[in-house]
Amino acid sequence: MKLFDRNFLVRTLSGALLVAVVVGAALLSRWTFFALLLVVMAGSTVEFHRLARAGGLHPQRRYTLVVSVLFVALNMGVATGEVHPVFLLLMLPPLTAIPVVELYRHSERPTADIGASYMSLIYIALPIALLCYLPFMGHGDGSEFEAGRYNGQLFLYYIFILWANDVGAYIFGVLLGRHRIFERHSPKKSWEGFFGGLILATTLGAWIGGPLLKHSMVSGAIFGIIVSVTGLYGDLVESMLKRAAGVKDSGAIMPGHGGFLDRFDAMLVSAPFVFVFYVIFFMR
């Protein structure tokens, strides 16, 4: 397989546009960052609902989308210091009401459909809600979390390592890929690609993480390893969902990349681990 084929060119151009949008939104202000997360969350949720329906499930599409928006918005308000954390308790009634809503839908498989509804919240809304806090975890000087103190570089640090992992995995996989990781769900993913992504993510994590986090390069390297490994599982989970639905891509919003889930699948699984890492790092 050629590395620089037409598909690679399309992926590169659309990827460059995506980079510009993400970097611009993260650096411009906390509100453009919030808007970016909302768009990614909404697009990913709609695509997940589409995959679920293709697999024979019927999640509560409108209701879970509204709940997801409210959940992310509340967490962003807490992160910016404009909403007291106690107001997160307001999400308990709508979350526990999902089985009640199912009573009025006359579903033939209510248990499976309730599960699909909850999965859209756990798989998509929860990780993105946790991402709201990353730019507020510190200010590049080793300081701990302070509501309202925004530093978009802390979010971009994570995203750049995710992208580096993708680039390394793609290049090494195309050039050297022979041994498959999980052929049942993702026939093209290879161990060679994984280690290529791991090397690039770890190197970038150590290189940028030292100056940005005001700590040792070892911590940055560990962060890169966490992102690379959890990102791989994010890719595999989405591949499993697409295979169950019988589709190649979750959507077609980005030429060469597919849909929101295709582009941000690694982030959805890795985000909770990254959040825990940031909490331990900045609040110790």
pLDDT tens readout for residues 90-122: 999 999 999 999 999 988 899 999 999 999 999
Question: pLDDT tens-digit profile of 23-54?
Answer: 999 999 999 999 999 999 999 999 999 999 99
Question: pLDDT tens-digit profile of 153-177?
Answer: 889 999 999 999 988 888 888 788 6
Angle between the 6-28 and 152-176 helix axes, to the nearest 10 degrees?
170
Q: How confident is the model at residue 69 (pLDDT cuts 50, 70, 90)?
A: very high
Question: Which pLDDT does position 102 carry in this prediction?
Answer: 95
Q: How confident is the model at residue 4 (pLDDT cuts 50, 70, 90)?
A: low
Average pLDDT of the segment spanning 247-267: 80
Number of C-beta neighbours around residue 45 at 10 A: 25
- Whether pLDDT at 70 is above 90: yes
Question: Which pLDDT does position 218 carry in this prediction?
Answer: 85
Q: How confident is the model at residue 142 (pLDDT cuts 50, 70, 90)?
A: very low
Say if CB 199 and CB 167 are below 8 A apart.
no
Tell me the longest C-alpha to C-alpha distance in the chain: 57
In percent, the amount of the chain with pLDDT more than 70 equals: 86
Of how many residues is the chain composed?
A: 284
Distances (CA, A) of 284 to 222, 277, 279: 17, 11, 8
